[in-house]
Amino acid sequence: MAANTGSHSISAVFEITAAASAGRDFLHIPAEACRDYADGSITLTYGEAAARVAALASRLRAAGYGSGHRVALALDNRVEFFVFFLALANLQVSIVPLNAGMSVAELAYVVGHSDVAMVVTHQGHAPHIRAALPAATMLVVLDTSDQALPRAAGSRIAGNGEAALLYTSGTTGTPKGCMLSNEYFVAIGRLYTELGGYCRFDGAGDRLATPLPVTHMNALAVSFMAMLMMGGCLIQLDRFHPSTWWRSIRASRATAFHYLGVMPAMLLNKPVSAEDNVREVRFAFGAGVDPRHQAAFEERFGVPLIEAWAMTETGAGAWITANREPRHLGQRCFGKAPPGLACRIVDDNGNHVSPGSAGELLVKREGADAQAGFFSGYYKDDSATAAAWADGWFHTGDLVRVGEDGSFFFVDRSKNVIRRSGENIAAVEVESALQTEPDVLASAVCPVTDNMRGEEVFAFVVLRAGVSPSLDTAARLQTHCLQLLAYYKAPAYFGFRAELPQTASQKLARAQIKTLAAGAIRSAQAFDLRYSKKRAVRERVRSTVRDYADVVLAAPVTVPYVRYSIRSAHWFVAQTLSRLIKESGLHKADIDGLSLGSFTLAPDIAIGLTQHLGVTARWLDHVPLGGACGIVAMRRALRAVQAGDAEVVACIGADTNHVDSFRQSLGNFSVFARDAVFPYGSGGPNASFAFLTSHYMRTHGATREDFGKICVAQRDNALGYPLALFKKKLTLEEYLTARLIADPIRLFDCVMPCAGAEGFLVMRRQRAEELGIPYVRVRSTAERHNAFPDDPIQSRGGWVLDREHLYGAAGVEPADIDFVETYDDYPVMSVIQLEDLGFCAKGEGPDFIRRHSFMTTGSFPLNTSGGQLSVGQAGCAAGFLGLVESIRQLTGRNLAPAVPDARFGIAVGFGMITYDRGLCSGAAIISRADA
């Protein structure tokens, strides 16, 4: 079909295309880009989109929305954003795209400044957005039902023809609202689709993929309008996912994609694979590729990276693209000025620079209307608009030079802007935020190069006298910024100085500061807090989960395991309690809280045990959660002690094992097991884990040798742990040729059911110090039950959802962890846990195993006492095994060989296979008392 370029409004373009191409795809969201809100990928045809847009438009019209209103949309890159945009465009209502990552203060500013009549968001952002809104501003939270829309209340202030008010960071602190007309959008679509050269659209099957946010002009106007005009399909991702990028591109049959400078770097960083050749993609369109990467990327992936230059303000009015040769690869070349565009390159004083020298780029249209195609001005800021258009030229703030053949080369930004992962951050804005912290006397913020993000934010701070220039102070200042600013704006690096370099005119010497910052990083004179800028961390800062600083774990005890016992579980509980008392020096009466995990107490539950043991408790818990009961019992006990509901809680996991009890327990494990597993003869979880193991092996290329390496290493660890039931070395050969249980599972993939018990005490830190007993600190914990219920087969656990919280709250990264105690009921679960906890990416487990050694003294100490695979699985005690071993390792009272200089460990819980998968997942990061 021919491009639909004759229309003058977004709405008209859409209507004409939708009528001509009703059956064709309009919008496609790959599954990995809508995990948060949909079960699978989403595809909308033009016809379907038109119907939804029409229905929504009529509801909006009925609610009184019309020309001149503005509506803010905080809908991320979701389908609803586009439906709302088109429906509102149809009513000549202007939109204000909101980045929900902004802080409450920033959101409040934008919402207030833009005079919106209504804000629309989804449930995920609702609490955050609501906190930012004045009482009078109406908030619509989308859910599955078509709830009524509030009556339009705001005034009709948007100028005629305004389609969007888009806020950019500006350079001076507060964001500026760029008024963008319908013509602006249409002109961009027309310009881009008619560029030609490498940027070829054929109108028959164009499918353009973009991971960029709709809160930026690129995704809001360029990719969207291009597909609208061509009748092509917009493939809109929520963000850039490096690990699945090519899969997304291939699966969604993209013919072109948009990029940011950091994307090629991250994609090149991945190992070369047979899937690298993606020649079905005609071109990639973007800006800011690292000069070192452009040629390498094109060579490896066969996709030309077409560099371009434009700004929100300049739109189609000033837009330069390197869409034809010569493209001067690797020289930051963005092409030649197109006909009709007038350019000047000037120095600080506004004079032309000599040919080939760098200067600020000034642009305008030739002819009568110098501003044709440009934005319509900054909303409520005529002086800023006038300043930008001083002397009739638009001042871009970018330093460029022009080569002999007329090609433009990007040099730098003259404005004080940091460009991090596509976001422009004004240095002044960050400095203003720092300045509100009383300990900060002065600050200077500048960009530093970052391999992942292009640039990162660096802050030099002059501290008030007496404040220590420490990591703690840096973290505190960063937290302060995170509360005031969108997370990406907070400094990732802090350097403390006695004074800041200034120019003769008493201004900050920006260029010198930049050099100093780079030097500070090189010489390790700066505090690196990049990690805590991450996503979940800012969630934590917002919700401020209380930490466990005042409560600790102590007195790790084990009642030695036996294969079969004639004792009851009650006996094992009593033995554990007795050992806890002896280990801690407490009296029985001092223990006023009891938490029990056991499967074999029936018909008793925890309460019966108080009488059995003669314990008077004021806090009691029964947590028979199998492999997760240790983590869960600990979490609850920590909070109980913290809250003062108990002074000392004994957490105990204990089970007995009679000759026939394991078999008998299987059929009664759950209703689902009885109805839908046990009748199939698998007799326990072996078959479920055979499925899971074979699925993992098939999907990720793991081999029996990989799992064997883990089992053999754990056995080696167990040989040094006197309480392990297995006392004989295991060879890889023995592992590989052991009796087949349910292929590919063989004997040594399975744990041995046995009797035994584990326990520890939870108490206030002060109490432990008074008692003079060693203790460990709990840095963070998480539990998650029935995560990912829609996964057809278990390939991940709740850790995926919780790991950022785990590390964020603990203030550590995976690299800081000295040992890991996985829940190793089968070796494949250890691998899945290592992936989900961020030690390697999903599917990279096999490679991780091959690279590491897992003995206590190896490169990655794993299950340091041998794990259940070599110690034995004593029912619910197995859920305590890793936790108790972690306490031993970190208090130096280890029975197994010590992990050298261990400061941080992770204990993982997993379990309760009531049907086809383990429902519980949990984890805790534990540290040495002084870490």
Partner 1 sequence: MIPPSARSRAALGLTAAAALGRFELQVCGICAAVQYPPREICHRCLCDSLHWREQSGGGELIADTFVQHSNDMYFRERVPWRLGLVRLDAGPTAVVHLHGGCAPAPSRVRVGARLDKSGQGVLMAFPFDEVPNMPDDRQLREMTCDPKLRKVLVTDGKTLVGQAVVRALIAAGTDLVWVGYAEAWKNSAEFTAMAALPRVVLLPLELIDSQSVMKAAADIGAKVDILINTAEVHRTHGIASQSGDEAARSEMDVNYFGLLRLAQEFGPAMRSRGAEGQASAVAWVNLLSVYALSNFPPHGTFSASKAAALSLSQCLRAEMRSVGVRVVNVFPGPIDDEWSQMLPPPKLTADALARAVVNALQCGIEDVYPGDVAQEWLMRWRENPKILEKELSA
> Which residues sit at the interface with partner 1, rule CB under 8 A?
662-663, 666-667, 671-672, 674-684, 686-688, 690-692, 694-695, 698, 739-745, 792-793, 915-916
Closer Cβ to partner 1, 131 or 676, answer by number: 676
Q: How far is the CB of 658 from partner 1 (least distance, A)?
A: 14
Closer Cβ to partner 1, 462 or 666, answer by number: 666
Closer Cβ to partner 1, 295 or 676, answer by number: 676
Closer Cβ to partner 1, 578 or 694, answer by number: 694
Assess contact for 17 and 231: CB atoms under 8 A: yes
| Radius of gyration from C-alpha coordinates of the chain | 31
Residue 354, judged by CB atoms within 10 A of its CB (0-12, 13-18, 19+), counts as: exposed
C-alpha 783/C-alpha 768 separation (Å) is 26
Number of helices (H) and strands (E) in the chain: give both, helices first: 30, 36
Q: By three-state DSSP, how is residue 206 classified? A: coil
Task: Report CA torsion sign: 862, 866, 867, 870.
Answer: positive
Q: How far is the CB of 789 from partner 1 (least distance, A)?
A: 8
Closer Cβ to partner 1, 438 or 681, answer by number: 681
HSE of 798, CA atoms in CB hemisphere, 13 A: 23
Closer Cβ to partner 1, 507 or 680, answer by number: 680
Q: How far is the CB of 916 from partner 1 (least distance, A)?
A: 6
Q: How far is the CB of 911 from partner 1 (least distance, A)?
A: 18
Q: How far is the CB of 142 from partner 1 (least distance, A)?
A: 19
The answer, yes or no, to whether the previous bond of 744 is cis (omega within 30 of 0) is: yes
Q: How far is the CB of 752 from partner 1 (least distance, A)?
A: 13
Closer Cβ to partner 1, 144 or 354, answer by number: 144
Q: How far is the CB of 39 from partner 1 (least distance, A)?
A: 9
Closer Cβ to partner 1, 603 or 789, answer by number: 789
Spell out a b/e string for 738-768, using b for 16 or more CB atoms within 10 Å of the CB, else e. beebbebbbebbbbbbbbbbbbbbbbbbebb
DSSP label at residue 546: -
Closer Cβ to partner 1, 170 or 846, answer by number: 846
Assess contact for 880 and 901: CB atoms under 8 A: no
DSSP letters, 622-654, are E---GGGHHHHHHHHHHHHHHHTS-SEEEEEEE
Spell out a b/e string for 660-672, using b for 16 or more CB atoms within 10 Å of the CB, else e. ebbeebbeebbee
Closer Cβ to partner 1, 554 or 742, answer by number: 742
Closer Cβ to partner 1, 491 or 626, answer by number: 626
C-alpha 913/C-alpha 670 separation (Å) is 9
Q: At what angle do helices 827-836 and 686-700 cross, to 10 degrees?
A: 50
HSE of 820, CA atoms in CB hemisphere, 13 A: 28
Q: How far is the CB of 691 from partner 1 (least distance, A)?
A: 4
Q: How far is the CB of 846 from partner 1 (least distance, A)?
A: 17
DSSP label at residue 751: P
Q: How many residues does the chain have?
A: 931
Q: How far is the CB of 243 from partner 1 (least distance, A)?
A: 22
Distance of CA 379 to the CA centre of its chain: 33
Closer Cβ to partner 1, 386 or 602, answer by number: 602
DSSP letters, 593-610, are EEEEE-SS-TT--HHHHH
Q: How far is the CB of 63 from partner 1 (least distance, A)?
A: 28
Q: How far is the CB of 920 from partner 1 (least distance, A)?
A: 18
Place of tokens 């592992």: 735
Q: How far is the CB of 672 from partner 1 (least distance, A)?
A: 5
Closer Cβ to partner 1, 111 or 742, answer by number: 742
DSSP lists the bridge partners of residue 360 as: 346, 399
Q: How far is the CB of 114 from partner 1 (least distance, A)?
A: 39
Q: How far is the CB of 750 from partner 1 (least distance, A)?
A: 9
Q: By three-state DSSP, how is residue 839 classified? A: coil
Closer Cβ to partner 1, 24 or 796, answer by number: 796
Phi, psi of 747 (to 5 degrees): -55, -45
Q: How far is the CB of 323 from partner 1 (least distance, A)?
A: 43
How many other CB atoms are found less than 10 A from the CB of residue 148? 10
Closest to 158 (Cα-Cα) out of 91, 99, 239: 91
Q: How far is the CB of 735 from partner 1 (least distance, A)?
A: 16
Angle at 820 between CA 816 and CA 823, to 5 degrees: 150
For residue 434, give both structure tokens: 């720092």
Assess contact for 852 and 830: CB atoms under 8 A: no
Assess contact for 630 and 758: CB atoms under 8 A: yes
CA distances from 295 to 56, 268, 408 (A): 46, 11, 18
Closer Cβ to partner 1, 535 or 698, answer by number: 698
Closer Cβ to partner 1, 531 or 678, answer by number: 678
Closer Cβ to partner 1, 655 or 716, answer by number: 655
Q: At what angle do helices 10-20 and 46-62 cross, to 10 degrees?
A: 140
C-alpha 478/C-alpha 567 separation (Å) is 56
Assess contact for 116 and 37: CB atoms under 8 A: no
